[in-house]
Amino acid sequence: MPKRKNLNGIPHNITKSFFGTERYYNGGYMGDWLLNAAKQLHLAEASLDVLQASFSPKQLYIRPLILNAQELKKIIDKELTANGFEQDFIIQAVIDFQFPNSKIHNTRFHCFPYLIDIDGKRYDGGRIMEEGLEPGFDPFEESNIYPTKSKTGVLSIIKKFLG
C-alpha cells in the first residue's frame, strides 16, 4: 500500500524546480520572468495551476513561463509512480504567489504550493521565498520572448532582393 506521507514533499519540489537555475530563458530565470511581469502588471497575487500549466491572471500567459510550467506535471507524475500511486491520484496542484510591496521587497516574492488528492487530502508546501536574480527586463517584449526571431531573416532578405 502506497504511503501518502511520501507525497508531502512534492509541492516544495515542484516550486523549487520551477524556480531553479536550470530553467533559464533568454535573460532571466523563471523567478525573473514572473517577478518582472508582476511588477509591470502591478500584481499583488497570482497563481499557477500546475496540472493545466495555466496562470491566473491570464496576462501571465508568457511563453517562457508556460513552457517551464508544462514540465512540472511530469515531476508530479514521476513522484506518484515512484511512490506506487496512479497518475490521476492528484486532482489539483497549485502554486499561489504573493508579491509584496516592490519598494520594500524589490526582488523577493512568496510561493504557497499545495496539492489535493482524489480523497480531498491537502498537501501543503508551506511558504517558500523566491527572488528575481537578474536585472530587470521587459517580459512582454517580443525579442525577449522569441530570441531567435531575426529582423534580418532569410525571408526578409529575399523580399528585399526581389523588391
pLDDT by position in tens, the chain (length 163) = 789 999 999 999 999 999 999 999 988 999 999 999 999 999 999 999 999 999 999 999 999 999 999 999 999 999 999 999 999 999 999 999 999 976 666 789 999 999 999 999 999 999 999 998 888 889 998 888 887 755 555 566 666 667 6
Nearest to 29, CA basis, from 38, 39, 19: 19
Give the Å distances, CA to CA, from 66 to 49, 52, 88, 151: 11, 10, 21, 25
The bridge status of strand 108-117 relative to strand 128-131 is: antiparallel
C-alpha cell of 1? 500500500
* H-helix or E-strand spanning residue 18: helix 10-18
Q: Could you tell me the residue range of the domain that residue 125 belongs to?
A: 4-162
Domain count, the chain: 1
Q: What is the DSSP string of 27-46?
A: TEEHHHHHHHHHHHHT-SEE
pLDDT of residue 93: 98
